[in-house]
Amino acid sequence: MNEALEPKKTYDPSEIEQTVSAQWLASDAFKPRVDGHGAYSITLPPPNVTGSLHMGHAFSDTIQDILIRWQRMQGKSVLWQLGLDHAGIATQMVVERQLDAKGIHRRDLGRDTFVEKVWEWKAESGGMILGQMKRLGLSLDWSRERFTMDEHSSHAVQEVFIRLFEEGLIYRGKRLVNWDPVLETAVSDLEVQHEEEEGHFWHIQYPYADDPSKHMVVATTRPETLLGDGAVAVHPDDERYRDLIGRELILPLCNRTIPVIADAYVDPEFGTGCVKITPAHDFNDYEVGKRHNLPMRNIFTNTAHINTEDFIPEQYQGLDRYEARERMIADLEAEGLLYKVEAHTHKVGRGDRSHAVIEPYLTDQWYVAIKELAEPAIEAVESGDIRFVPQHWEKTYFEWMRNIQDWCISRQLWWGHRIPAWYCADCDHITVSRDTPACCGGCGGTSIRQDEDVLDTWFSSGLWPFSTLGWPENSEEMEKFYSTNVLVTGFDIIFFWVARMIMMGKKFTGKVPFKDVYIHALIRDAQGQKMSKSKGNVVDPLEMIDLYGADALRFTLAHMATPGRDVKLDVKRIESNRNFMNKVWNASRFVFMNRGDARPDATIQPVNDVNRWILAALNDCARGTHKALEEYRFNEAAGLLYNFIWASYCDWYVEAAKVALYGDDEAAKEETRVVMLTTLDGWLRLLHPICPFITETLFQELHGNEARLVSADWVGDYASDDQAVSRMNRVMDVVSAIRSIRGEMNVAPGKRIEAQIAADDAVKAELASQEKVLMSLAKLESLEWLASDAEVESAAVAPLADARVFLPLAGLVNVAEELARIEKNLLRAEADVIKLKARLSNPKFVDSAPEAVVAKVRGELDEHKAKYEELLVAQTKLKAL
Ligand SMILES: [Zn+2]
């Protein structure tokens, strides 16, 4: 035995993970191999540089690494593209908060200095994230790190903006947008969360201009917006108000009048049937205002304070929106114009970053005319060029894409890609240019200034699958790795990101950016709650790696990757998978200590049933795992491996192999050593994509330190072997039956007992061929073969499908206890018989259930009846003792 190859006695994940990780990195193991046959690529969804990785990242990244490592082992040239996202608004907020804590506002620093601070933070956060990814064992190509704001990506962003602008697909327009008054920027519809909140309905009287003693009553949840009212609208068919259409009303608190207009948008059944119209502060009113040519009166500043336009009464100017609301309510009441106030629950939109109440706000923004981009993207999924897994997410995608609105891409932020557009002081021309222009493209004047805004962060993310590969250049990587094979992501960003990548990819490369979209569930805590810092239920992946090792965490995550919306993460499962890793380690150690001079040999054709069986089982496991991974059923792959390694290999095979290893048949011993090593070699390869560290370590112990599992091949084929499998299944059935009786009767684990087996000659022959193994595993002192109809007095009986196992009770068992056991089983059997009889006497069941089901129940009844009879016999015998 080679002492140098013996792994450490106890499994210490932190030590092996460090060693292995350093080896991989030093050998550039994650770069695409040049001699690969076929290519495979995944673009890592770039994590935001907003802090550190959470469990959701660990989950998604582990799934991708499993695919990448598995494909690398198929001999392909594999690229897993790494990068980080600048995450515009999110990152700017992180840095603003840090400055806030020091009492500094970003405006105090100025744009350039602030952006420098964000770059400093990016270096810090990005470094931390990359370190965490390495701890998790991700086999990303570390030499190809990209950032959405690096030179290359910025170039691609600019190119796309300019091409779309030149085609007329990017335009500038004054529109109502969702305005975040805390972040002072436009945000997209997707960034607004609408939730029910308690509020009020204020009913306000608007007096007639020509007869102020009479009035109309309108109800509103935002009374302060009346400052910007342009009209009161009623439904054209509403008899109550028909005569009022065209009449003027006095706008309360303001020294001006507004007309009553008719518009079918008004629901006459709702409230009073009169609606105030504030075109500049409500999306529906905006459309009504455009139809009726109403003035668009903006009442707010960027921070949602009342502005100082001259149509606004002086006493409200400069007030915060909620302060203004209170003052105006008080004034309305004082003037007798507040008709009534009702409590009212209604939907309020809040910014998903700032949680501030969003205001519809009229501003100049840049838009992408999206319909033309959306059509080919819809077609790509309809035609099957892109496949969603699970498929039902296609429906979600189609629904959104078919109702898609133009995309507002400008953001009033400092952190991001600045819009390459220049405005002229002397004319209306907007100069859009790849380089900083010297003068206006319209009039040639030199008084030009660049747009202050930056692009929505999803603009650069939308180009990610091809901008990272060298687009717009026709690079070798584009040629080889684009389209990528699969995008792995959560359903929460199908619209933000997946849809936009498909639109941009089709538009600029003519190809789909990825062929499959695997949508995984979102990770919840053990109780199914969303993980959040405020709830204190966050499970930190790094902490889990420190406690249990990366392999145990990865195995747990793979095992949890079921199709569905949510998965629950229970830390206990990571702990128990750490025990699985221990089992893997200890079993392998046993194998190494008993290997002699043997080496794995994939071509071996063993004669011994135990050896033939385990190779056939390895083959089944390999095929099953491969198929499960092909179909993105990660939980199934993990389950197959768990059962094969723990049960088939460690519990059954290694124990059964001891008979040959410790015996004196040299040929059997040698064959068993080789098969033991060959099977170990096989399942280390199969388990590697999920648990790379422990398998790499053991693989090097198995093959010598120069060997590298990370760049080794997948498992080869072994013959299936029905005969050996059937024999070993019989042996395992008998052993399990004996073990279960031993357990029930509290026989000491080490105690050897006697057994007798009654069966026909064919079954006997199969079992007898593995007599030594059977005796060793069941801890038998002696084994006697009986005729198939033999009976044994005073013995516990295990009735199997085609054999009966008798364990003589003398000296083995406490008669009173055994009687109690039989009594208990009799009661159970009786209850089963009654239950099944009742079912079969129910005409509803017998007449309506499928014939096969009824037949199955009849069979079960017969079985339980027979069992009952047998137990009665055993009871009688035992009583006679
Ligand atoms: Zn000009």
Separation of 354 CA from ligand 1 center, angstroms? 38
Strands (E) across 571-715 are located at: none
Q: How far is CA 842 from the centre of its chain?
A: 47
Position 552 scores a pLDDT of 97
**Is residue 124 a part of any domain in this protein?**
no
Per-residue confidence at 7, pLDDT binned at 50, 70, 90?
low
Position 316 scores a pLDDT of 95
Cα separations in angstroms, 47 against 83, 85, 415, 592: 7, 6, 16, 41
Separation of 449 CA from ligand 1 center, angstroms? 11
Separation of 61 CA from ligand 1 center, angstroms? 50
- Say yes or no: 568 and 690 in one domain: yes
Question: Domains in the chain: how many in total?
Answer: 3
Least confident of 28-42, 200-214, 799-813: 799-813
H-assigned helices in 280-425: 283-291, 321-334, 371-382, 393-402
Separation of 221 CA from ligand 1 center, angstroms? 45
271: domain range?
185-359
**Is residue 68 a part of any domain in this protein?**
no
> Which of 699, 720, 741 marks a domain boundary?
720
CATH code for the domain of 276: 3.90.740.10
What are the tokens at 144? 């190809």
Distance CA(296)–CA(316), nearest Å, equals 19
Per-residue confidence at 5, pLDDT binned at 50, 70, 90?
very low
Q: How far is CA 57 from the centre of its chain?
A: 8
**Is residue 761 a part of any domain in this protein?**
no
Distance CA(443)–CA(426), nearest Å, equals 8
Least confident of 227-241, 423-437, 540-554, 733-747: 733-747
Separation of 174 CA from ligand 1 center, angstroms? 20
Distance CA(85)–CA(418), nearest Å, equals 16
Beta carbons of 305 and 364 less than 8 angstroms apart: no
CATH code for the domain of 568: 1.10.730.10
Separation of 439 CA from ligand 1 center, angstroms? 8
Separation of 422 CA from ligand 1 center, angstroms? 10
Answer positive or negative: Cα dihedral of 324, 330, 333, 339.
positive
**Is residue 166 a part of any domain in this protein?**
no
Note the pLDDT tens digit of each residue in 23-32.
Answer: 999 999 999 9
Distance CA(418)–CA(89), nearest Å, equals 13
**Is residue 318 a part of any domain in this protein?**
yes
- Say yes or no: 686 and 818 in one domain: no
Separation of 433 CA from ligand 1 center, angstroms? 14
Distance CA(477)–CA(77), nearest Å, equals 11
Question: Letter for the amino acid at 103?
Answer: G
Separation of 167 CA from ligand 1 center, angstroms? 21
Least confident of 155-159, 588-592, 870-874: 870-874
Separation of 445 CA from ligand 1 center, angstroms? 5
Separation of 441 CA from ligand 1 center, angstroms? 7
> Which of 328, 359, 390 marks a domain boundary?
359
Note the pLDDT tens digit of each residue in 237-264.
Answer: 999 998 899 999 999 999 899 999 999 9
Separation of 405 CA from ligand 1 center, angstroms? 31
Note the pLDDT tens digit of each residue in 424-466.
Answer: 999 999 999 999 999 999 999 999 999 999 999 999 999 999 9
pLDDT mean across residues, the chain: 91
Distance CA(349)–CA(599), nearest Å, equals 67
Note the pLDDT tens digit of each residue in 62-120.
Answer: 999 999 999 999 999 999 999 999 988 888 888 888 988 898 888 889 999 999 999 99
Beta carbons of 359 and 300 less than 8 angstroms apart: yes
Separation of 173 CA from ligand 1 center, angstroms? 19
Position 1 scores a pLDDT of 36
> Which of 295, 329, 359 marks a domain boundary?
359
